A and B are shown apart, each in its own frame.
Chain A
Amino acid sequence: MSTPEPLMQIMGLRVEVRGVPILRGVDMEFERGKVYAVLGPNASGKSTLAKTVMGLPEYEVKGGDILFEGDSILDKSITERARMGIAYAFQTPPTIPGVTLEEFICRICPEYLCRTSEDYLMAEQCTCRKELYDDFDRLGIGNLAGRDLNDGFSGGEMKRSELFQVLSMRPKIMFLDEPDSGLDYDSLKIVGRELRAIREEKSTTMVVISHHRYILEFLEVDKVYILQNGRVVYTGDMSVIPELEEKGYERFLAETAATT
């Protein structure tokens, strides 16, 4: 039986930020409908990986390739990548003054249809208020609807707002940058439940960057990658998590040191 073609392949990826090498030859594969965890100590390159996949200009690809559905996306703009089905939930998104969360969602999410209107950017009112509010309430962010995007949102509110946005885009693959940081238990439960539902639909590949066991176990992660100093130092299953909790990244640090 032939192995299905991965949705995304990262091959020998080398990335610099303002001349400083961050990723030093990363190889990863992400299959359709599966859930991946990218772990690693601080500054190991996890967020850089996600932002490079999204095409943020600060992240300069110096070597290697990123294939999406078999084709390189390195020459694609951020917009093109987003429209191809790649999404990234920012860890610290910028504030957009004067644009409310409600208005923004209505204008970016095909699911809510407003975008079908020719002048959707200027539309006075969306046509999907009821559905939108139901979904806001499900994620517990109804109170943010009329507020300016990311303006004064708490850490937890920001995470849920980001998650709401990327889920609404119905992407083929989404990179979630620490979706569980700053969340209280109730928020964690809400986020976990949403991600779990997506996992069960198997329609979206999830790449979760996290430092915490709870969300990864709840999602029943299929594969774990550990990044250290810009390289993949572990590819395997969740059995590595207890060791990480007990000893941290000690072993991987030692291995990296030995090979560099």
Chain B
Amino acid sequence: MADSDDIKERARRALDRPSVFGDDLDLSEYRVEETEERRLDVKELTDEDRMLLEEVGFDVGQRSVAGSFMQFDNESVLADVMIKQEGLEVLPTRRALEKYDWLEDYLWRAVPVDADKYTALSELHGYDGYFIRAEEGAKIEMPVQTCLVIKKGRSIQNVHNIVIAEQGAELHIVTGCATPSHVERALHLGISEFYVKRDARLTFTMVHKWNEAVDVRPRTGVMVDTNGVYVSSYAILSPVKSLQTYPKVHLVGRNARADLYTVVYGTGTSKYDVGGLLSLEARGTRGKVISRTIATDQSQIIARGELQGRVNGVRARLECNGLLLSDSAGIRAVPILDASAEGVELSHEATVGKVGADQLNYLMSRGLTEDEATSLIVRGFMHLKAPDLPPRLQKAIDDAVRMTLEKGL
């Protein structure tokens, strides 16, 4: 394991390294504030905060969650196991690093610290974020909820999250990121490293609500061990200045599985560069990378997906489907299949187009107006069913989609 000096040095060397994808941001335009931990009772939240949290599905009353974590800018305000749940731990990352020496071994293992200037900056400035761990064999049935909020303009929210589902554990995380509409220019840097151990299951559901002034650069790496299952569902349904994310999932143990679902509803002049990479590195591994993107107004979406088959006997599928609802919008689907062993089975389907005239005519012949027919087609298009997702979390995504379409169409 590299020591911390070595990590810092690697980070320093990468400080000017642009990301492979997405607009290259000038980081000097943002203020980097040091992190501090401050405990705050939920009762102290303002009405505006509560509304914002609820919009991304955060249960402020914490009635049906196993644990909660909330961070405003760089201050973590709430991190606790609210309901007695044996085998679950939720802590701010910095506190967890102080508590557990061994946690250093999980830092920058799934995400390289020198991947680009964003990972480098994250390491070189103080970060917080959440540490969530389900102990060996613990079945945490109710979800753990997290929320990351940016309230200060011209700032960088620097978050480093570590999630560990130990052997045989089951863990569901639902996370909402949000920014009030009045915040001017901000950057969210979110490093997330997830470890799904042997026979463990982790679902990670994200509903995000940024605003037109926020740039978002999450960097996510996932390691899935033998028979482990990782399911990610990511919905971004609000405008953003720019979002570039490309989570990399490494299926390193035999028969490990991962499914990545992405739903993007592009509005305004937002730029989205989304997708995911699935690296199948052990026999019997399999997975899916599925995206549904809708571009309205002048939004521009790049939907990437990459499957890498490295050993014999692996199977994966890639689907990138895009729907254009405006002549000024754009969608580019970039599917990549990369096999370097015999017996690798990779497939893909990519479609980009407008609402089909035959579909519209059909629905209108049943008495729907053109607008109603379009709404129904769009809603159906965005309905992504993740079979392994608990119904409550599927509903969180369905509700977010429904609310978006009610406003947008």
Contacts and interface: CB of A to CB of B under 8 A. Distances in A.
Interface secondary structure of B, over-half rule: helix
A97 B381 contact: yes
Nearest to A77: B364
Contacts of B372: 121
Contacts of A122: 379, 402, 405-406
Contact of B370 (A79, A108, A124): A79
A96 B365 contact: no
Interface stretch (B111-119, B197-205, B353-361): B353-361
Given A94-B356, A98-B381, A98-B382, A121 B375 contact: yes
Given A56-B361, A57-B357, A121-B376, A98 B383 contact: yes
B365 A54 contact: yes
Nearest to A171: B367
A108 B368 contact: yes
- Chain A interface size, as a band, is 20 to 34
Contacts of B369: 79
A78 B381 contact: no
B376 A79 contact: no
Majority secondary structure, A binding face: mixed
Contacts of B370: 77, 79
Nearest to B399: A124
Contact of B366 (A56, A98, A148, A165): A165
B379 A98 contact: yes
A121 B367 CA distance: 13
A124 B395 CA distance: 10
Interface string A38-79: 000000000000000010110000000000000000000111
A79 B406 CA distance: 22
B375 A78 contact: no
B382 A96 contact: no
B380 interface: yes
B363 interface: yes
A15 interface: no
B380 A99 contact: yes
A108 B367 contact: yes
Contacts of B366: 82, 104, 108, 165, 169
Contacts of B377: 96, 99
A94 B375 CA distance: 16
B362 interface: yes
Contact of B359 (A79, A94, A121): A94
Contacts of B375: 121
A7 to B, nearest CB: 18
A88 B356 contact: no
Highest count of chain B CB atoms <10 Å: which of A77, A90, A93, A97: A97
Interface of B: 356-359, 361-370, 372, 375-377, 379-383, 402, 405-406
Given A96-B362, A122-B379, 19 more contacts: A56-B361, A56-B365, A57-B361, A78-B361, A78-B364, A78-B365, A79-B368, A82-B364, A82-B367, A90-B362, A93-B362, A96-B380, A97-B380, A97-B381, A98-B381, A98-B383, A121-B375, A169-B366, A169-B367
